[in-house]
Amino acid sequence: MIEVRNLHKKYKDHHAVKNISFDVKKGEIFGFLGPNGAGKSTTIHMICTMLAPTSGSIMINGYDAVKQKNKVRESIGIIFQENTLDEKLTAWENLMLHCKFYKVPKSERKTRIQEVLEIVDLVHEKNKRVETFSGGMKRRLEIARGLLHYPKVLFLDEPTVGLDPQTRAHIWEYILRLKEKQGITMFLTTHYLDEAEISDRIGIMDKGEIITINSPAALKKEIGGDIIELSTAEHQATIATIKKDDNIIDVTDHGDVIHIKVQNSDAFVTQFIKQLDVPIRTLNIRKPTLNDVFLAFTGENIHKTEEKEA
Ligand SMILES: Nc1ncnc2c1ncn2[C@@H]1O[C@H](COP(=O)(O)OP(=O)(O)OP(=O)(O)O)[C@@H](O)[C@H]1O
C-alpha cells in the first residue's frame, strides 16, 4: 500500500530524513516510533503530499506522491493531533463540509455521513455543536471525518494524546473495528508504547534513519533475555556483586531499583541469590517490553522524549 524508496529530506544543511526505504502492507497497522527530532513528522508529511522530498520516491495505493498528489490525497485520511473541527458547527455540518471539500458525490453524502457516525457511535449527537463535545467525542468525530472519502490508508498521529485511559481504550476499539471491517491500512505514531503493541509491525526511526522494522513480538525477541528488577538493603554492594557475574547482558541503575538483563532469569536468580549476602527488598522478573526495545535501539526512554516535548 505504501512504498518508500531512498526518501531524503534536506533542510538547508540539515539532513532530517536520510535515504530511507520501507513498505507498508495492505491492511496492516504500521507503528512509527522514534525520539523527538528523529524525522517522523518530516517523513509522514512527505508521504501525505504536504512536503516535497529532496529526493527519492513514495508510492501510495499505486500513485506517486510527488507526481499524482490529488490521487494520493483521495487515497488517504489524516487524523493529526490538532483539533481541526469547526466548533461552532454541529457534527453533521462538519462532516458535510468535508464531503464538499473532498467532492463526495451529492447523492452519496447523507448515506456516508450516517455510516461514519455509526462507526464512531455519534449518531445521537449528530445535531449537537462540536463545542459541547468532550475531548474523546471530538477525536471520534475527527476519525469519522477522516473516513468519509473511503481512504485506503489512515494516518493517525498520536490519536489518543491528552485523553483519559477509558476514552483511549474506546478510541482503540473503534480503530480496531475499522481495521477488521474495512481492511483499512493504518499508519500510526504514538508515545504510548502499550498502544503501539497493537501494530502488526513497528518501524523505529532515529536521527533520520529507519533503524529497525519488525513485529512487536519479534522486536522483543530480538533484544532477548529477561529483565530482573531488584532492590536490596545495600544498593552499591549489590551492584558490585552483579558486575562480577559473567551471565549478565546489561545492568542499569534506576535509583533504588537495579535493572539486570540476563539471557535466562531462572538460572541466574538461583545462582545469584546464593552469592548475595545482603537482604533483598524486592525482586521482579519480567520479559522485555516495547519500552525496553525502544531504549535498546535509540538509547532513550520514550517517556523522556515525551517530557522533552511537554
Ligand atoms: N521546516 C524545518 N526547517 C528546518 N529544520 C526542520 C524543519 N522541520 C523539521 N526540522 C528538523 O528536522 C529534524 C526532524 O524533525 P521532525 O519534526 O521530522 O522529527 P520528529 O521525529 O517528528 O520529532 P517529534 O516527535 O518531536 O515530532 C529535526 O532536527 C528538526 O529540527
State the complex-level ipTM: 0.95
Identify the DSSP state of 130: G
CB 40 less than 6 A from any atom of ligand 1: yes
Same domain as 52, residue 147: yes
Grid cell, residue 265, equals 532469569
Q: Is residue 98 in a domain?
A: yes
Q: Is residue 21 in a domain?
A: yes
Same domain as 192, residue 242: no
Same domain as 134, residue 194: yes
Q: Is residue 294 in a domain?
A: no
- CATH code where residue 261 lies: 3.30.70.920
CB 265 less than 6 A from any atom of ligand 1: no
Counting ligand 1 atoms within 8 A of each CB, the residue from 32, 42, 306 with the most, and so the one to mutate, is 42
The Cα 205–Cα 35 span in angstroms is 8
Q: Is residue 306 in a domain?
A: no
Taking the centre of ligand 1 as the mean of its atom positions, its distance from the CA of residue 227, in whole angstroms, is 33
pLDDT, tens digit only, all 310 positions of the chain: 999 999 999 999 999 999 999 999 999 999 999 998 999 999 999 999 999 999 999 999 999 999 999 999 999 998 887 778 999 999 999 999 999 988 889 999 999 999 889 888 899 999 999 999 988 899 889 988 988 888 899 999 888 887 788 878 888 888 888 788 778 999 999 888 888 999 999 999 999 999 999 999 999 988 878 889 999 988 888 888 888 877 788 888 888 899 888 887 887 888 888 888 888 999 999 888 898 899 889 887 666 555 555 4
Query: Is there a contact between 65 and 58 (Cβ–Cβ < 8 Å)?
Result: yes
Strands 2-11 and 14-24: antiparallel
Radius of gyration of the chain (CA): 23
- CATH code where residue 87 lies: 3.40.50.300
Same domain as 93, residue 168: yes
Last residue of a domain, one of 192, 219, 246: 219
In 118-191, beta strands by DSSP E: 153-157, 185-189
Same domain as 153, residue 207: yes
CB 81 less than 6 A from any atom of ligand 1: no
Cα distance from N-terminal residue to C-terminal residue, the chain: 33
Same domain as 141, residue 256: no
CB 101 less than 6 A from any atom of ligand 1: no
Query: Is there a contact between 143 and 175 (Cβ–Cβ < 8 Å)?
Result: yes
The residue range of the domain holding 265 is 225-287
Last residue of a domain, one of 219, 240, 257: 219
Collect all residues with Cβ–Cβ distance below 8 Å to 235 and sequence separation of at least 6: 256, 258
Taking the centre of ligand 1 as the mean of its atom positions, its distance from the CA of residue 77, in whole angstroms, is 22
The Cα 58–Cα 197 span in angstroms is 26
In this structure, the residue with its CA closest to atom 12 of ligand 1 is 16
The pTM score is: 0.82
In this structure, the residue with its CA closest to atom 10 of ligand 1 is 16
| C-alpha closest to that of 226 among 268, 264, 259 | 264
CB 37 less than 6 A from any atom of ligand 1: yes
Taking the centre of ligand 1 as the mean of its atom positions, its distance from the CA of residue 153, in whole angstroms, is 23
How many residues are given for the chain?
A: 310
Same domain as 193, residue 89: yes
Q: Is residue 112 in a domain?
A: yes
Same domain as 261, residue 181: no
Count of domains for the chain: 2
Query: Is there a contact between 231 and 282 (Cβ–Cβ < 8 Å)?
Result: yes
Query: Is there a contact between 82 and 100 (Cβ–Cβ < 8 Å)?
Result: no
Q: Is residue 68 in a domain?
A: yes
Angle in degrees, CA 88, 94, 99, rounded to 5: 155
Run of H or E including 285: strand 280-286
